[in-house]
Amino acid sequence: MSGDNVVLARNVEGAPVSPLHAQTAAFSHYNNLSAQLPLDPETGELVEGGALEQAAQCFENLEAVAEGIGHTLGDVARLTVFVRDIRDLDAVDEAFRAYFPTYVPARTNLAVAALPLDALVQVEALLTNGEGTIPDAPQAGDLVKYVSNTHNAPYDALSSQTVAFSHYNNISAQLPLDPVSNQIVVGGVAEQAAQCLKNIKAVLTSVDVPFDDIVKITVFLKDLADIDAVDEVYTRFFPDSGIARAVGYLPARTVVEVADLPLHALVQIEAVVSHGDGTPPQEVEARHGLIIEANNTDAAPVSALSTQSVAFSHYNNISAQLGVDAATGELVAGGVAEQAEQACKNIQAIIENVEHTMADAVKVNVYLRDLADLAAVEDVCARCFPGTPAFRAVGTSALPMDALVMIDAIFGNAEGTPPVA
């Protein structure tokens, strides 16, 4: 339809370019950037040096992409830092300060089993895009960010607890820290998971946003075998309100095993949250004026703990998909290519169930047991996702069901989610 936002995939000079995915895919009020490796854009090779030099190059590449589309790093709403060794976060933080001297975005930090090209660091960013993506009809671009912190949740000088822009709240990943002592809570993974969720709730309460406005959760676990303990805690928090319980609402979800977490925590939880009020100069709408649209289809695997697709405003958030046949509940026969193909088929079934297509994808995230399989998975994704959505891949030592690959995605939702009459 005329007047609708469209996916705007772009590449710019001064940053590494891939033929398979765009450096940035914008839709409506956000720019979804591909994760940046520490590659010299002139040579295509990893820069010399250690984690400090690699982190600086990642930020340099992100800055080149941002500036190439008329933005700055001051427009970053959320930053995700992947390292191979959690001890390298100090070096990453040193580089970070040079590129974010005053404003600090929401942030997630974690160590993974492997990164492409054996890099030590990889950084991805979500940028605001106030001008929107309606063809030939740029908006004023003067929406403001709301940055908030509360003493009722752990404070970090190098991240903001929540950064709201337009109709989304971007929450820093929460560790199981007691906000009073700033120490990890006593107990095991169940107690730590509960504290992570309490911290998220405290952040949302501080900005007058209900817990059930969460549209996507990502759980980062040191040991995937702990997922049952985490799930038992999870069901005590979701659904949260009487309305959500009445309809059985659960956010989309991704569960990932990581190599390590800050402070060697056992679990860390990240949330993406709807923001019905918008940010000025948008008109303030009733808190639940824009609605969350949650959908499942039997054509893809259904989980009792998540919704396959959760749309709010102009984005559809998709739960991570394995190479599982919905009819049998089992992984498909074959290797990583077959599993990736099935995961993409599941995503296609989910997005077509809400009358969208794979061409509406703006970001694809891939988790691999063996990063040597990345080329095979990229080939599958190139065939399954028309266009060139932004992209990120990391290695993990374990996936649910001993799968070889897991894929989640974010889609544009041009029609929005209409206000309740």
For the cut 80, the answer to whether the pLDDT of residue 279 exceeds it is no
Cβ–Cβ under 8 Å, residues 102 and 60 = no
For the cut 80, the answer to whether the pLDDT of residue 276 exceeds it is no
What secondary structure, in 3-state letters, does 327-394 show? CCCCECCCCHHHHHHHHHHHHHHHHHHCCCCHHHEEEEEEEECCHHHHHHHHHHHHHHCCCCCEEEEE
Beta partners for residue 253, in sequence order: 217
Closest of 279, 255, 238 to residue 408, by C-alpha: 255
pLDDT tens for each residue of 282-319: 665 544 467 899 999 999 999 999 999 999 999 999 99
Beta partners for residue 408, in sequence order: 365
Give the pLDDT of residue 37.
98
The two tokens of residue 273 are: 């949250």
Residue at 51: amino acid letter: A
Give the pLDDT of residue 2.
43
Closest of 30, 100, 37, 107 to residue 69, by C-alpha: 30
- Mean pLDDT of the 170-186 span: 97
Give the pLDDT of residue 286.
42
pLDDT band at 170 (very low <50, low <70, confident <90, very high): very high
pLDDT tens for each residue of 411-421: 999 998 887 54
The Cα 325–Cα 342 span in angstroms is 7
Give the pLDDT of residue 287.
43
pLDDT tens for each residue of 226-260: 999 999 999 999 988 888 888 899 999 999 999 99
Q: How far is CA 53 from CA 47, 59, 135, 141, 341, in A?
A: 7, 10, 39, 34, 37
**pTM of the prediction?**
0.96
- Exposed e or buried b for every residue in 246-277, given b needs 16+ CB within 10 A? eeebbbbbbbbbbbbbbeebbbbbbbbbbbbb
**What angle, 0 to 180 degrees and rounded to 10, lies between the N-to-C axes of helices 51-68 and 89-99?**
30
For the cut 90, the answer to whether the pLDDT of residue 397 exceeds it is yes
What is the CB neighbour count within 10 angstroms for residue 44? Answer: 10
Report which DSSP code applies to 27: E
pLDDT tens for each residue of 65-113: 999 999 999 999 999 999 999 999 999 999 999 999 999 999 999 999 9
Report which DSSP code applies to 260: B
Give the pLDDT of residue 138.
81
What is the CB neighbour count within 10 angstroms for residue 244? Answer: 20
Q: What share of the chain is helix, strand, coil (3-state, %, to 5)?
A: 30, 25, 45
pLDDT tens for each residue of 338-376: 999 999 999 999 999 999 999 999 999 999 999 999 999
SS3 76: strand
Give the pLDDT of residue 420.
53
Residue at 306: amino acid letter: S
Cβ–Cβ under 8 Å, residues 229 and 193 = yes
What is the CB neighbour count within 10 angstroms for residue 325? Answer: 15
Beta partners for residue 316, in sequence order: 311, 411
What is the CB neighbour count within 10 angstroms for residue 97? Answer: 12
Give the pLDDT of residue 288.
47
* Domains and their CATH numbers in the chain: 1-142 (3.30.1330.40), 161-288 (3.30.1330.40), 291-421 (3.30.1330.40)
Give the pLDDT of residue 278.
75
The two tokens of residue 122 are: 């990889």
The two tokens of residue 418 are: 């209409």
What's the whole-number average pLDDT of the chain?
94
Residue at 164: amino acid letter: A
Percent of the residues in the chain that have a pLDDT greater than 70, as a whole number: 96
Q: How far is CA 300 from CA 58, 221, 297, 384, in A?
A: 36, 25, 6, 16
Give the pLDDT of residue 136.
82
For the cut 50, the answer to whether the pLDDT of residue 208 exceeds it is yes
The Cα 319–Cα 251 span in angstroms is 8
Give the pLDDT of residue 3.
66
The residue whose two tokens read 């730590």 is 192
**Strand-pair category, 252-257 with 214-221:** parallel
Cβ–Cβ under 8 Å, residues 217 and 171 = no
